[in-house]
Amino acid sequence: MDLLILSRLQFALTIMFHYIYPPLSIGLGVIIVIMETMYLLTRNPFYHKMTRFWVKIFGLNFAIGVATGIVMEFEFGTNWAAYSRYVGDVFGSALAAEGIFAFFLESGFLAILLFGWDKVSPFMYWLSALLVCLGAHFSSIWIVVAGSWMQTPAGFHIVGEGITARAEITDFWAMVFNPSSMERLAHVVSGCWIAGAFMVLSISAYYLLKKKHVEFAKVSMKVALTVALIATSGQLMTGRISADGVAKRQPTKLAAMEGHFAPNAPADYYFLGRVDEKNHRVSGLKMKGLVSYFVHGDFNKPVQGLEAFKKEDRPPVGIVFHAYHFMVMIGLLLIFLSVTGTVLLWRGRLFDTTWFLKILVPSVLLPQIANQLGWMTAEVGRQPWIVYGLLRTSEGLSKAVQASAVFTSLIMFTFIYVLLFVLFIFLLDQKIKHGPEGLERETQRHRA
Amino acid sequence: MDLNLIWFILVGVLLAGYAILDGFDLGVGALHLFAKGDKERRLMINSIGPVWDGNEVWLVTGGGALFAAFPDVYATLASGFYLAVFLLIFALIFRAVAIEFRSKQPSSLWRQSWDVAFSLSSILSAFLFGVVIGNLIWGIPLGADKEFHGTFEGLFHPYALLTGVMVVSVCMMHGAIYVVMKTEGQFHHKARGWVKNCIIFFMITYGILTMATMLYAPQMVDHLKKHPILFLIPVVQLLVIANIPREIYHQRNFMAFVSSSVAIVLFMFLFGSGIFPNMVHSNPHPEYSLTIYNASSSIKTLQTMLIIALIGMPLVLAYTLSIYWIFRGKVKIDEHSY
C-alpha cells in the first residue's frame, strides 16, 4: 500500500478512536456541573454523592482521552510534515491556544474532582467541576476552529512559491471566526452533550431495570433527559445551518453528501438510498427537488452536481453520502428517544416503562456512531483537499517517512488501541457494577 | 530581543516546565520496582496520582507551541524521528494505562505485571527523550529541503545513548527526592537511601557526558568560551547539585527538590544556549541547520502567540501552583487512591 493511503488510514484510526472520549468528557462535564450545582443549592448530600459516581466515570474517560490525545498533537508533524510546514503559521496557533487555555484547566481541576473530595470546600469543589467542564469546552472551541479553517480557510495569505510556499496569517480573528467555525462548533458541541447525556441515560436505565440504586438512577435520568432534549433539538437546528454553510462554501462536499451528480439540475433529497459511484446513479426513497429547496428556496432551481467539477477535485461519493444519511437518521432517532422519554416522564411512567428502558441501555452507542459519521462526512467530504481548495491531501504528506514505517506504526496503533478499548470497557463495566457509593442512607433522606 | 528569540525561550520554558514536572513522575516510575510489596508501590503511584496527568499537558502544550512558533522544526523532527516519536508516545500511553489499571484488581500477578509495565515504560520514555536531546546536540543529517535524510537506527549512536542514560539518571534523582518529600516512616527512610545512590549514578553519567560533549560536540561550549560569564552556570549547577545531599541530611526535603529542579532548569539553559541560534543542528551539512529565524512562523503569528502566552501562562502557573498546594503534604492511601 502506498504512503498516502497508509497515512490516511492511520490518521482516521487514531482520530476516530480518540473521538470516542472527548465528547463524553464534554457531555458528562455538563451533567456533573448540573448535579453539583443542585448540591450547592440544596446542600443535600445525595446530589454530591451522585456527582461522585459520574466523576469516576469521567476520570476513566479522561485518562484515555489524554493518552490518545498526545498522539494527535504530534501526528500532524509525523505523518503530515509538508502540511505542517504549509499551515503551521495559521493552524499551529489554534492548537497551542488549546493547550494553554483548555488542557491545563481541565487536567488540573480534574485532580481536585477525583482526589480532592475531602480536601476542599463544597464551593471549591463546585468551582472545580465548572472549570473542568469549561476546559473541555474550550478545547472543543480551539480544535473545531482549527478544523474549520481547513474547511473554509480565511484570514491568511500565501507567501513564497513552489515547495517554500506557505500560508501566513493576516488576521487572527478572521481565522478564528472563519465562515464555518461557529456553526460547526455548535453542531459538534451539541453532539458531545448528546453523547454524555445518553451515557448517563444508558447506565441509569440499566440500574432501573436491575432495580439497583433506583433513586440515584431516577435523578440522574431526569438530569440527563433534560440535557438530551435540549441537545438533540439543538443538533437538528445546527445541522441545518451547517448543511446550508456547506452548500454555500463547499459545493463538491454538498454534492457528495446528497449524491448529486448531474452538473446543473435540480437536486433531490434521498431519505434512504444507495450510491452507484461508477454509473453516477443513486437509487432510493427521495423527495424531488428538496435539496434545491434547501439551497435556493425553490424546488426547481439547479444545484451544481459533481460532474460540474474536474474529476480530480471530487470527493469519494459513496462513503460521504452513506455516512451523512446514516448520521441524519440516527439524529432523528435520538430526537425521538429524547421526546418519548420526556413524554413518559411527564406522564410519570418513565421509570417503569420497561421496553423504553431496554432501548435506552444500548442507545449509548447511537450518539457515538453519529458523531463518528458526522466527522467522516465532514473530513472525507473535504477530500481531495487537506485544506479546502488550497492544498491537496497528497501534497501534505511527510517527505522523510517511508510507507514501511507508517505500516509499522499503524500495526502498533491497532494493537495498542484494541488493548486500550478492551481495558476501557472492562473498567467501565466494573465501575458500573460497583455502582455509586454510600447512597442508601442518603436515599432514605431524599425520599423523606 | 526579537520575537524569534522570545519564542525560542518560551518553548524552552514550556519544555523545562515539562522536564521538572514529568521528570519527577518518570523518575518515580523508574524507581518503582525498587519499592517492595503492594503497600510501598501504592505509595509510589499515589504520590504522583493527582498530578501526573497535568504534568504531561506541559509536553502537549510544548509541542503545540513548537508547531505554532517553529513549524519547520516541529515538522522536521516529528517526521524525521518518526518511529522514535511513536515509540515514545506508545511508552507514555502504556504508562498511563498501567497507572490507571494497576489498582483495579487485587490479584498480585495483575498488579506485578502492571508494576513492570509502569516502570519499564517510564524508563523508556525518559531514555527516548534523552536520545532526542542527544541527537539535537550531535546534529542530524538534514537536506536543503529542511528534511531529515537519516535512518531510525542512525538515531541510536553512542552519544545519544549516553544522553538517554543521563536523562534517566536525572529523572531518577529528581523522582527519589520527590518520594522522600511525599512519604513518611519506614518507606521514607528507604527512599532517602535511594537519593544517595541516585546522586552517585547521576554524577557518573554527568561526568562522562560532559567529557564526551567537550570532545565530540565542542560547539556546545562555544558560547561559554565567548562569554566567560556563562561559565558561572555549570559552576552554580554543580553547587546546586552538591546542595541536594546537604538539604536531605538536614531534613529540608522541599529545598532538596527545589535544588534538583534548578539543576534541571540549568541543564535546559545549557542545552538551549549551546545549540543557539540553531534549533536543529545539521550534521554533516551545518549550512542546512534549522535556526530560530529560518524555521519560524511569521512575525504576525509570533506576536499573536505572545499575547496568547502572556494571558495564558499566568493562568497556567496559577492552576499548577494551586493544585500542588491543595495536594501538598505526605501521601495517604484512602478510598480514592490508585
3-state secondary structure chain B: CCHHHHHHHHHHHHHHHHHHHHHHHHHHHHHHHHCCHHHHHHHHHHHHCCCHHHHHHHHHHHHHHHHHHCHHHHHHHHHHCHHHHHHHHHHHHHHHHHHHHHCCCCCHHHHHHHHHHHHHHHHHHHHHHHHHHHHHHHCECECCCCCECCCCHHHCCHHHHHHHHHHHHHHHHHHHHHHHHHCCHHHHHHHHHHHHHHHHHHHHHHHHHHHHHHHHCHHHHHHHHHCHHHHHHHHHHHHHHHHHHHHHHCCCHHHHHHHHHHHHHHHHHHHHHHHCCEEECECCCHHHCEECCCCCCCHHHHHHHHHHHHHHHHHHHHHHHHHHHHCCCCCCCCCCCC
**In whole angstroms, what is the distance from residue B57 CA to residue A25 CA?**
16
Predicted ipTM of the assembly: 0.87
The pLDDT, as a whole number, for residue A360 is 92
Contact A74 B85 (CB under 8 A): yes
Is A53 within 8 Å of chain B by CB? no
**In whole angstroms, what is the distance from residue A23 CA to residue A144 CA?**
13
Q: Which of A2, A173, A170 is nearest to A94 (CA)?
A: A173
Who among A74, A92, A166 is closest to B68 (CB)? A92
Is A79 within 8 Å of chain B by CB? yes
Give A198: exposed, middle or buried? Use CB within 10 Å, 0-12, 13-18, 19+: buried
Query: What residue of A is the nearest CA neighbor of B316?
Result: A104
Contact A88 B74 (CB under 8 A): yes
Which residues on B lie below 8 Å from A120 (Cβ)?
326
Within 8 A by CB and 6+ apart from A206, the residues are A361, A432
Instruction: Find out whether A51 and A32 touch, Cβ atoms under 8 Å.
Output: yes
Who among B61, B89, B100 is closest to A74 (CB)? B89
Contact A169 B300 (CB under 8 A): yes
Who among B50, B68, B72 is closest to A111 (CB)? B50
Place of cell 418519548: A340
Contact A105 B319 (CB under 8 A): yes
Distance from CA of B130 to the nearest CA of A (A): 18
C-alpha cell at A185: 462548533
Place of cell 459533481: A306
Helix (H, G, I), strand (E, B) or coil at A43: coil
Within 8 A by CB and 6+ apart from A60, the residues are A424, A427, A428, A431, B100
Distance from CA of A249 to the nearest CA of B (A): 26
Q: Which residue, among A7, A105, A115, would best test binding to B if mutated, counting the most B CBs under 10 Å from its CB?
A: A115
Distance from CA of B80 to the nearest CA of A (A): 6
Please name the helix (run of DSSP H) or strand (run of DSSP E) that holds residue A387, with its range, or none.
Answer: strand A385-387
Helix (H, G, I), strand (E, B) or coil at A424: helix
Is A434 within 8 Å of chain B by CB? no
Phi-psi region of A435 (alpha: psi -120 to 50; beta: other; left: phi over 0): left
A 10 A CB-CB count for A348 gives: 8
Q: Beta strand A264-265 with A303-304: parallel, antiparallel or unpaired?
A: antiparallel
Distance from CA of A88 to the nearest CA of B (A): 5
The pLDDT, as a whole number, for residue B328 is 85
**Side chain identity at B195, as an amino acid letter?**
V
pLDDT tens-digit series, residues B249-295:
898 989 999 999 999 999 999 999 888 889 999 888 888 988 999 88
Contact B79 A430 (CB under 8 A): no
**In whole angstroms, what is the distance from residue A321 CA to residue A273 CA?**
9
Domain count, chain A: 1
Residue A226 lies in a domain: yes
Contact B326 A82 (CB under 8 A): no
Contact A400 B80 (CB under 8 A): yes
Instruction: Find out whether A46 and A72 touch, Cβ atoms under 8 Å.
Output: no
Contact A398 B79 (CB under 8 A): yes
pLDDT tens-digit series, residues B16-40:
999 999 999 999 999 999 988 888 8
C-alpha cell at B100: 490507571
Residue A141 lies in a domain: yes
Residue A115 lies in a domain: yes
C-alpha cell at B212: 564526551
Contact A90 B301 (CB under 8 A): yes
Is A69 within 8 Å of chain B by CB? yes
Which residues on B lie below 8 Å from A93 (Cβ)?
68, 301, 304-305, 308
Contact B78 A62 (CB under 8 A): no
Is A291 within 8 Å of chain B by CB? no
Residue A271 lies in a domain: no
Contact A101 B65 (CB under 8 A): no
Distance from CA of B227 to the nearest CA of A (A): 34
Which residues on B lie below 8 Å from A88 (Cβ)?
67-68, 71-72, 74-75, 297
Q: Which of residues 150-189 of A touch B (CB under 8 A)?
A: 159, 163, 166, 168-170, 172
pLDDT at residue B56 is higher than 70: yes
Instruction: Find out whether B124 and B91 touch, Cβ atoms under 8 Å.
Output: yes
Contact A79 B79 (CB under 8 A): yes
Distance from CA of B14 to the nearest CA of A (A): 10
**In whole angstroms, what is the distance from residue A87 CA to residue A81 CA?**
10
**In whole angstroms, what is the distance from residue A132 CA to residue A29 CA?**
7
Which residues on A lie below 8 Å from B301 (Cβ)?
89-90, 92-93, 168-169
The pLDDT, as a whole number, for residue A309 is 85
Residue B179's Cβ-side half-sphere holds a number of Cα atoms within 13 Å equal to 35
Is A101 within 8 Å of chain B by CB? yes
**In whole angstroms, what is the distance from residue A336 CA to residue A441 CA?**
36
| B54 alpha-carbon distance from chain centroid | 14
Which residues on A lie below 8 Å from B64 (Cβ)?
73, 92, 95-100
Residue A279 lies in a domain: no
The pLDDT, as a whole number, for residue A278 is 80
Q: Which residue, among A10, A25, A74, would best test binding to B if mutated, counting the most B CBs under 10 Å from its CB?
A: A74
Distance from CA of A24 to the nearest CA of B (A): 18
Contact A420 B93 (CB under 8 A): yes
Instruction: Find out whether B136 and B73 touch, Cβ atoms under 8 Å.
Output: no
Query: Directed axis angle between helix B253-275 and helix B3-31, to 10°?
Result: 130
Who among B148, B152, B326 is closest to A120 (CB)? B326
The pLDDT, as a whole number, for residue A310 is 86
Contact B69 A92 (CB under 8 A): yes
Who among A67, A95, A399 is closest to B96 (CB)? A67
Exposure letters A321-330 (e unless 16+ CB within 10 A, then b): bbbbbbbbeb
| A145 alpha-carbon distance from chain centroid | 14
Per-residue pLDDT of chain A (448 residues; tens, 9 = 90+): 699 999 999 999 999 999 999 999 999 999 999 999 999 898 888 888 889 899 989 988 988 888 888 899 899 999 999 999 999 899 888 888 888 888 888 888 888 888 887 788 889 999 999 999 999 999 999 999 999 999 999 988 888 887 788 888 888 898 889 888 999 999 999 999 999 999 999 999 999 998 888 888 999 999 999 999 999 999 988 988 888 888 888 888 888 888 888 788 788 788 888 888 788 788 888 887 788 788 877 888 888 888 888 888 889 888 999 999 999 999 999 999 999 999 998 988 888 888 999 999 999 999 999 999 999 999 999 989 999 988 999 988 988 888 999 999 999 999 999 988 998 898 899 889 888 877 665 555 555 4
Instruction: Find out whether A172 and B304 touch, Cβ atoms under 8 Å.
Output: yes
The pLDDT, as a whole number, for residue A283 is 80
Which residues on B lie below 8 Å from A104 (Cβ)?
54, 57, 61, 315-316, 319-320
Q: Which residue, among A83, A399, A433, A434, would best test binding to B if mutated, counting the most B CBs under 10 Å from its CB?
A: A399
Instruction: Find out whether A194 and A323 touch, Cβ atoms under 8 Å.
Output: no
C-alpha cell at A53: 459516581
Exposure letters A52-88 (e unless 16+ CB within 10 A, then b): bbbbbbbbbbbbbbbbbbbbbbbbbbbbbbbbbbbbb
| A429 alpha-carbon distance from chain centroid | 23
pLDDT tens-digit series, residues B136-183:
999 999 988 888 988 888 899 999 999 999 999 999 999 999 999 999
The pLDDT, as a whole number, for residue B49 is 83
**In whole angstroms, what is the distance from residue B140 CA to residue B151 CA?**
10
Residue A322 lies in a domain: yes
Q: What phi and psi, each to the nearest 5 degrees, are found at residue A171? A: -145, 105
Q: Which of B310, B297, B5 is nearest to A92 (CA)?
A: B297
Q: What share of chain A is helix, strand, coil (3-state, %, to 5)?
A: 75, 5, 15
The pLDDT, as a whole number, for residue A445 is 56
pLDDT tens-digit series, residues A370-384:
999 999 999 999 989
A 10 A CB-CB count for B284 gives: 8
Who among B146, B147, B319 is closest to A104 (CB)? B319
Distance from CA of B15 to the nearest CA of A (A): 13
Contact A85 B146 (CB under 8 A): yes
Residue A297 lies in a domain: no
The pLDDT, as a whole number, for residue A441 is 58
Residue A299 lies in a domain: no
Contact A100 B309 (CB under 8 A): yes
pLDDT at residue B195 is higher than 60: yes
Contact A99 B80 (CB under 8 A): no
Domain range for residue A190? 3-261+305-447
Distance from CA of B159 to the nearest CA of A (A): 23
